[in-house]
Amino acid sequence: MFINSNYGSELLSIRYWYIAEKILEFLELFYDSTIVLSGVYYPTSPLIMHHLLEIASHLHASEKDQNLIDVVYPMKIKFLKYWQHIPLLYSFAFILDPRAKMRGLFRVLELLKESTGCDYTSYYADVKTEIYKLFNKYERKFGAARSQRVAQPASHTGKRKQAWERIFGGPGSVVGPSPACAPTLSASTANELLVYLDSDNVTAYEDDFDLLL
């Protein structure tokens, strides 16, 4: 309205409006991820892998758009600069979501490879080794003081964009290798960590799922 009233309706052609609409659609995913990962009333670190997958897939798909290719290519290079080597923290947090575990991580890394061309085989092995090492440290320091966990009512934690359907192909699906081949652990450590990783994934994919509970 401002442009039409001050400069005339011919200043911006249909072509310009089309490009503006494409840019708006292209940037929407980044806006959504920024909002979700800026949340303060729910855990955000387990959501990083979901958004890495969505953004990588989005950039890969947008490379085919002739209107965006000049913008997308440098964005993908910058994305890989920061996220080709995923910090272990975010993989640990993702695994500790009972809907994901090692099976979910395996599938996410497969999907990331399809979009980025990066091979995460050795990274997956490193994550599996390091999470056991980390849990051993936790067990030594806090094992004796572990208290009985008391269930609390679930509460709504806001909008979360998650890619469960893409990861598992729908609720209840199980993909990826079993984590049974794990480093040697003490009996008490194995009883908790191995049981968690070897048990079936939780299939509650609702946005109000209380991860901390």
3-state secondary structure 171-187: CCCCCCCCCCCCCCCCH
Residue 79, token pair as written in the block: 């994305």
3-state secondary structure at position 155:
coil
Per-residue pLDDT reduced to its tens digit, 107-122: 999 999 999 999 999 9
Domain ranges of the chain: 2-141+158-198
The span from the CA of 170 to the CA of 201, in Å, is 13
pLDDT > 70? residue 45 = yes
pLDDT > 70? residue 129 = yes
Mean of pLDDT over the chain: 84
Q: How many CB atoms lie within 10 A of CB 139?
A: 18
pLDDT > 70? residue 173 = no
Instruction: Kindly state the average pLDDT of the residues 114-142.
Output: 93
3-state secondary structure at position 149:
coil
Instruction: Kindly state the average pLDDT of the residues 132-141.
Output: 90
Identity at 208, one-letter amino acid code: D
pLDDT > 70? residue 205 = yes
Residues 6+ apart with CB under 8 A from 180: 194, 198
pTM for this prediction: 0.77
Nearest of 111, 89, 104 to residue 202 by alpha carbon: 104
The span from the CA of 183 to the CA of 185, in Å, is 6
> For position 162, what pLDDT does the model report?
74
